[in-house]
Structure 1
Amino acid sequence: MKVSIIMGAYNTAPTLPVSIESILQQTYKDWELIICDDCSKDNTYEVALSYAKNYSNIRVIRNEKNSRLAYSLNHCLQYAQGEYVARMDADDFCLPDRLAKQVAFLDTHPEFAVVGGGVMLFDGKVVKKTIFNPEEPKKEFLARGVPFFHPTIMMRKSVYDILEGYWVSDRTKRGQDYDMWFRFYAKGFRGYNLQEPLLRYHDSLSDYAKKSSWDMTWGATKTIWLGFRVCKMPLRFYPWVLKPIVSWLLPKKLIYIIHNKKHNGKEN
């Protein structure tokens, strides 16, 4: 098995079939999909099982209690057999050659530990725009935000093992990937972003509402503070630690508008 695709799912029954179908339609075929249901209140688990019954390379597991995304992804990693591990969200849609392009890159570029790519922002009705992060973001980029769009990444399984997966704590209920990138750079790993879109990424005002609690904001602030320390970031970057708090104080609709006007990276 070359590629293990890991997916956490919670109350995503309406979008999960489209997400899974986009994986089934990949031009690259040597993969397994591991879906972890986080005790959904809808029929997400049953939808996932219906695919697992028809496809031997789809596996469905379930948490004993609702434990959030970081825990779900680590649960998936326990079963991953692939040389490479790809991320996927249960409400996103992979472009058909996503896996093929990423496998080809990692096969021919052993110096890179992870490869990501661009995303097509989708509000549930239309694709609004396509955005990218820099080709090879350095650790300083962490002051601005995440250097790789999480649902687009494909990482060497050996690197996931070294990083010990995702950190599970109150502060990483959201932003578990941000926390991982700090540890990634602290270990001296390098990553690359293909300058082409790899998937359609769900991005709407309701998504921002999910991230608006003070607990989430304070957790993100602590993650940045700890991350800056572990990466030995220059002191001039430390004012960026307050970025989550400033964002929390602003109206969510305004943050959503700003996000759609300007983004970390370049616009297509």
Structure 2
Amino acid sequence: MSDAMTVITTVYNGQRFLSAYAENLVQTLRPQDRAILVDDGSDHQVSFSETLRNDQRFKLITANRIGRGAALNLAIENAQTDLIAVQDIDDQSLPNRLAIQAKFLGAHPGALVFANATSDAHRLGKSRPRRIAPSRLYLGNPLHHSSLAFHRNVWEQASGYATDLPCCIDLDFYLRASCKAGAALWQLGIPLIARNLDPSRRYFASIPSPAYHATLQTVLDHYRNKVPVSHWTVLAVMRRKLVHLKGPRA
């Protein structure tokens, strides 16, 4: 299997991030790698600089407003490599990210492989890869979608990203890939991305809280009986019962 990767990114009204995104990927992509940016119906159509237009590694797809899940699927459909890496428009990949994740996928082709961010707290002894039980996601999602890499076969077997969700598309894909494609979730435990944590500039920070929590519950309920039972499942049930007993906060 070739270790070439395609970095996929979607953008909606995020032209202000394009310059930093381009500068980062020009430095990050190896000669065999590619990058696809899908403009998901921005009010002012995204355009590449002359430098990117002349760089054969980059491809810009302009779409109508189809939603992020459909835009991610569109990017993967147009990828010419077997390996896919996700990067949010306002995050950055570290220089060695693609080589490290490609090597891991060479040994674990059925995995969804994640990495830490430079802003994550360092935990002594936690730098080795660790497998994450899907049921762990019922206590919270510790995985950065912007650090995800996988083989397109996993995406195909999982039937792609959901196209009918307003948010939580990443969590739905992790559970969908685990349940439908038998994908294992792995976290490398080393920082391979730098995240934008500024709430005023965070690209995906504008989702209304009620919509987020309602969608989150819908996603978790959908896969609840399909996720293998583990100690994380027990903890999630205990927490739900505790919240129910305490009732809503005033």
Give the TM interval when normalised to the shorter protein: 0.7 to 0.9
Distance 1:191 1:24 in 2: 29
Distance 2:80 2:239 in 1: 38
TM-score by length of 2: 0.81
Cα 1:72–1:51 shift into 2, 3 Å: farther
Q: Which residue of 1 aligns with 2:133?
A: 138
After superposition, the C-alpha distances for 1:162-187 in whole angstroms (9 at most, x for unaligned) are 11110111xx2211010011112213
2:118 is paired with a residue whose SS is strand
Distance 2:26 2:55 in 1: 9
Cα 1:83–1:241 shift into 2, 3 Å: farther
Gaps of 5+ in 2: 242-247
Match of 2:167 among 174, 179, 187: 174
Distance 1:41 1:27 in 2: 29
Contact between 2:162 and 2:172, CA under 8 Å: does it hold in 1? Answer: yes
CA RMSD of aligned residues (A): 2.8
Cα 1:183–1:240 shift into 2, 3 Å: farther
TM-score by length of 1: 0.76
Q: Which residue of 1 aligns with 2:198?
A: 204
Q: Which residue of 2 aligns with 1:245?
A: none
Show the 5 A alignment for 1:143-158: 143-146=138-141, 148-158=143-153
> Following TM superposition, by how much is the alpha carbon of 1:77 offset from its aligned partner in structure 2, in angstroms?
1.4
Q: Which residue of 2 aligns with 1:115?
A: 113
Q: Which residue of 2 aligns with 1:11?
A: 13
Q: Which residue of 2 aligns with 1:56?
A: 56
Q: How many residues align?
A: 232
Distance 1:111 1:118 in 2: 20
After superposition, the C-alpha distances for 1:200-224 in whole angstroms (9 at most, x for unaligned) are 1112334485133422321111111
> Following TM superposition, by how much is the alpha carbon of 1:241 offset from its aligned partner in structure 2, in angstroms?
6.9
> Following TM superposition, by how much is the alpha carbon of 1:51 offset from its aligned partner in structure 2, in angstroms?
4.8
Contact between 1:120 and 1:200, CA under 8 Å: does it hold in 2? Answer: yes
> Following TM superposition, by how much is the alpha carbon of 1:34 offset from its aligned partner in structure 2, in angstroms?
0.8
Distance 1:42 1:131 in 2: 40
Distance 1:220 1:240 in 2: 16
